[in-house]
Structure 1
Amino acid sequence: MRRAYRTTGGSLVAHDQGAHLTEWVVGDTAVIWASQASEYAEGRAIRGGVPVCWPWFAAGRSGDVSPAHGFARVAPWRLVEEAVDQHSVVLAWELTGQDVRGLDGSDLFPHEFRARLQVQVAEAATISLTVRNEDRAPFSYEAALHTYLHVGDIREARVVGLDGADYYDKVDQQERTQTGDIRFVGETDRVYTADGPVRVQDPVLERTLLIEKSGSPNTVVWNPWVDKGAAMSDFGDDEWPLMVCVEAASVGDRAVVLEPGAEHTLSTRVRVLDESGS
């Protein structure tokens, strides 16, 4: 189900499939970006917004797991909370092991769990994924909030706050260390070992986006650039300059391990600053 809301500060759109915030507009300008080519079809991942990657990221730690990014982003989550006023919107969905039985890939995670995805939008947008182990044995999982941010032109934007952080470059499959700010000159797909805030400085739109995270030992930065963007059927050929993903994540050797009865929350908060960064 598609859910649309308008507040004094802007508007947002969310879908029950995937518990997915797909659009957030402040004033007249998008902050959370979605592709115009996305299909919004049952059982198909939505390209853009904030997909919930769970219980694995990409092709998993083994490198050969499907569907990509897990089953949560196409699962039928149940809306359990909706609080709306003129200034803010709060939505929450739940998903359990029973809800996903029969979904593609669910047999690869045969555990009892309860997941809650909460979206709170006011002057900032906060997305939180809480997973509780309701099984009798420990389990582990990867998770990411795959946040697509709108920028005026990726070639002019830069990501600040990761200087000195180690990262794995998935494009050339090399371990590297970041020097200075991230500037974009080609396909970028990096998993940083970093848990602090970052800023996306966008001179074209004359603003800075502040991304703050918690429960997130990794930060993923992604832009497909020309060729990869053109190869995706749900991504317009001319859209790659308009977005960058900065993702709160817990992946690879920093995957979450939960004992029975324990829970973990991964969250990201996006706030719009003016050109001065305030």
Structure 2
Amino acid sequence: MPSDFSGKEVQSTTSGEVFGGDTALPCTAVTTDLCRAVVSHQGAQLLSFQPQGGEEWLWLSPLAQFASGSAIRGGIPLCLPWFGRHQSGDSLPKHGFCRLRDWDLVVVDRIDQAVCLRFEYASTEADLVLFPWRFRAEIQYRLSNNLVLELSIENLDETPMPLSFAMHSYFAVNSLANTRIEGIDQAEYLDNTRDLQRGHQREALVFGKEVDKVFPGLGGEQRLTDKLAPRYVAGRGCDTAIIWNPGNDSLADVGSHFSEFVCLERGIAFDDAQTLAPGHRWEALMSVSDKGRGLVV
């Protein structure tokens, strides 16, 4: 850890110490003059981000389970090396396996006023049973008064590697009924509630029932608004936008809390999915801010 970090800025902790519960996972907590954040080492998953003096930006389910090898509901899970249901069927884990693995915190640094945490995961022999390509993934969080995620995936194998992913952001909302997503009007989408039928989004999206829409090739910037401050999401190398809310209490680790969040994600999926040549790397950047100014870099 660089010498200019005080012991209070970056600390080792556990999910139990921060969020409570009977089980606990290793975490790193960041507290600066600009923000507070918590990252779980399992999945290198950002669980909380709150600008100082502001509201919590991310939603973490009150029913979330912090158990080794189990998905954590909320924050920003990293869904890779595939997004959604694997094309071979339900025998493989939905959204890949990297969110279920322990990542290594390899760098703690500072860029300007931002604290930067970089995590790394290298696939193992056991992973080859699920995904027969060796790869390395890195995620860097730049934490200041806004949030920047820099994700890279490198094919370490000798054959071309299929790749899709999502930075699966759960954003806290004050009222689902008063929430809307802008920046998607006149875009084409795949509707996952209707067997991926294609549709055309004619206006901003509002919520009254389950929404599970994938917008390949959208790019640009999307705006989430409700009674809380707006969230602006932009990206590079992650032109797929995914918007999801279950619309009911059918999920055990969501329950009646489904009206407290909206997922507005960026990644590459379906039409945007890639094939990485041996030795090649895919890089993506997603930024979240409360001011509409395009990509924060």
Q: What TM-score comes out, normalization by structure 1 length?
A: 0.90
Q: CA deviation at 1:61?
A: 3.3
In the other structure, the counterpart of 2:222 is 198
Measured at CA, do residues 58 and 120 of structure 1 come closer, stay the same or move farther in structure 2, by a change above 3 Å?
A: same
In the other structure, the counterpart of 1:92 is 118
Partner SS for 2:253: coil
Q: 1:270 and 2:295 equivalent?
A: no
Q: 1:134 and 2:156 equivalent?
A: yes
Q: Deviations over 1:194-238 (max 9, x none)?
A: 111100122x22x21100111113100001112xxx222222x33
AA aligned to 1:120 is: R
Q: How does 1:128-207 map to 2 (within 5 A)?
A: 128-173=150-195, 174-193=197-216, 194-202=218-226, 204-205=227-228, 207=229
Q: CA contact under 8 A between 1:11 and 1:24: conserved in structure 2?
A: yes
In the other structure, the counterpart of 2:20 is none
Q: How does 1:35-114 map to 2 (within 5 A)?
A: 35-83=61-109, 87-98=113-124, 101-102=125-126, 106-114=128-136
Partner SS for 1:177: strand
Structure-2 separation of matches of 1:87 and 1:267? 19
AA aligned to 1:107 is: V
AA aligned to 1:255 is: A
Q: Deviations over 1:136-184 (max 9, x none)?
A: 1111111110011111111101100011111011112321010110111
Partner SS for 2:178: coil
AA aligned to 2:286 is: T
Q: What TM-score comes out, normalization by structure 2 length?
A: 0.84
In the other structure, the counterpart of 1:24 is 49
Structure-2 separation of matches of 1:43 and 1:62? 22
Q: CA contact under 8 A between 2:35 and 2:145: conserved in structure 1?
A: no
Q: CA contact under 8 A between 1:8 and 1:86: conserved in structure 2?
A: no
Q: Deviations over 1:62-105 (max 9, x none)?
A: 4535211110001111110112699432111111123xx325xx
Q: Alignment identity in percent?
A: 31
Q: 1:232 and 2:251 equivalent?
A: yes
Q: CA deviation at 1:28?
A: 4.2
Q: CA contact under 8 A between 1:142 and 1:256: conserved in structure 2?
A: yes
Measured at CA, do residues 220 and 65 of structure 1 come closer, stay the same or move farther in structure 2, by a change above 3 Å?
A: farther
Structure-2 separation of matches of 1:266 and 1:210? 17
For structure 1, which runs of at least 5 residues remain unmatched after alignment?
A: none
In the other structure, the counterpart of 1:248 is 266
Structure-2 separation of matches of 1:156 and 1:249? 26
Structure-1 separation of matches of 2:219 and 2:130? 28
Structure-2 separation of matches of 1:217 and 1:31? 22
Q: CA deviation at 1:60?
A: 2.0
Structure-2 separation of matches of 1:195 and 1:172? 23
For structure 2, which runs of at least 5 residues remain unmatched after alignment?
A: 1-25, 293-297
Structure-1 separation of matches of 2:90 and 2:220? 30
Q: Deviations over 1:11-67 (max 9, x none)?
A: 111011001111111224110211111111111111001101001111123453521
AA aligned to 2:179 is: A
Q: CA contact under 8 A between 2:35 and 2:143: conserved in structure 1?
A: no
AA aligned to 2:69 is: G
In the other structure, the counterpart of 2:295 is none
- Cα RMSD, aligned residues only: 1.8
* Bigger RCO of structures 1 and 2 (CA < 8 A, at least 6 apart): 1
AA aligned to 1:14 is: V
Structure-1 separation of matches of 2:121 and 2:271? 25
Q: CA contact under 8 A between 1:97 and 1:113: conserved in structure 2?
A: yes
Structure-1 separation of matches of 2:106 and 2:287? 21
Aligned residues: 264
